[in-house]
Structure 1
């Protein structure tokens, strides 16, 4: 289906992926860049403000993961490894042999798993506010996740889901599966992180959920990586919907020129 959002044309569709009907959107032309949203989010709630900027110079493949947005669910828990396999299968269905990958938050952890599990598909990698180890966030984060309730989910994310989901009753299921995934989160072993050969840009905000120490540890483990710590909170640097300020402008999304420069850099 052809549509326009904020003056940007895109095509949307569904692909049969590992038992899911996986929703995706295609924007622009050029080298492929895959966008992977954060936990509890949709394409638009994570990337809606910056898609018009990124689509000027490349083809974007924006996805919605299991139980999120317009993508169906399957029996069983969600995992970063399965999400990575789902994105890889979608790319193969779309005949995309190699792409740059940009994931935010939980999507950043999924992006790292794609680089670990499907290295042949990854050219460059942008891991934004991604978590690899439990000590990468303050200890109180885990207590918060154990107490997670749908009523405490940010209203912007609940509204974003209800705006696009085919069945809004899935909101509770998505919330509970995402919360359980985080409660059960296990460290990605050092050797797997070190196995990432893709040129990688690691980004966090200086007031992020992810600690600067964790970002530095990731930077040291991934040999071919760069690190950027940007002023702002979790996703503020890309206009993630819960961080938006009144009268925001494109210039506020300060990570985008940095990401584009990284992606355009010749190896």
Structure 2
């Protein structure tokens, strides 16, 4: 399906959903799903131990979570996608069950981790499904490793630091997420007592990265869908629209009555959009 037609069709369907069904759903942070069932393993790459889970068969799809979180957050998406695809769900370096080293966090470094994981798994090319930092990594892959990416579903991304809203941490929902992330880090991480240092390192990355130019975004040739929630706590709407307008042929999808956590708040609608894009 043409990506522009996909957008028009999806938005027409969304407009028909009664508002009352999902009133204030965007203000809630549903529970993190249980760990994803599948074949879990570790890849020793780039000086770290990268945890990942595989399930399903078919063309490969890599799921990349947002900053501070872990692969469990995609627990409502992976079983649906795995009906048609080989799914690889990753804990990014320093997140979840994966380790980190002394290298400063950077999107280019985490992108190189994903490429190294694909090499380890002998996967030539894969679709990328990314949320927040994971979506940024997916776009970075499409720019710097175009031969390894078939398509990118980028939810809740930014491509410039100016695309972030100020005082994100003061938003009640996002503050709740940060508090939850600490608890999950302490439970899952190989370095459970280092959350505060980890948080400081991630926040430093957020303050300075990414800052891609229009020229860099226009170099993307893979099919891309730029998606976000109507009430994203951290990403400016005009920035989301800018990304979709700048990346050649990219689609734009805004999920109604949902936020940066739409995949938890409205998994049925999120999954329908995701499966449609992966199958188009």
What is the TM-score of this pair, normalised by structure 1?
0.84
Shift in Å, 1:228: 0.1
Contact persistence 1:198–1:224 (CA under 8 A): no
Aligned mate of 1:55, from 82, 106, 118: 82
Structure 1's 89 and 206: CA in aligned 2 closer, same or farther, altered over 3 A?
same
Distance 1:206 1:17, change over 3 A: same
Q: Which residue of 1 aligns with 2:93?
A: 66
* 8 A contact 1:98–1:123 mirrored in 2: yes
In the alignment, structure 2 segments of 5+ residues that lack a partner are 1-32
The alpha carbon displacement at 1:175 in A equals 1.0
In 1, the alpha carbon distance for the partners of 2:35 and 2:69 equals 22
Cα deviation 1:137-166 (Å, max 9, x = unaligned): 22444xx59xxxxx9863322222233222
CA apart distance, 1:173: 2.7
Provide the residue aligned with 1:12 in structure 2: 40
* TM-aligned CA distance change 1:6 to 1:176, over 3 Å: closer
1:197 to 211, 216, 221: 221
Equivalent position of 1:211 in the other structure: 236
CA distance in structure 2 between the partners assigned to 1:170 and 1:8 by the alignment: 25
1:259 alignment partner in structure 2: 274
TM-score, length-normalised on structure 2? 0.81
Tell me: higher relative CO, structure 1 or 2? Use CA pairs within 8 A at least 6 residues apart: 2
The DSSP-based 3-state class of the residue aligned with 1:68 is: coil
- What is the match of residue 193 of structure 2? 169
| RMSD (CA atoms) | 2.2
1:191 Cα offset (Å): 1.1
Unaligned runs of 5+ in 1: 146-150, 245-250
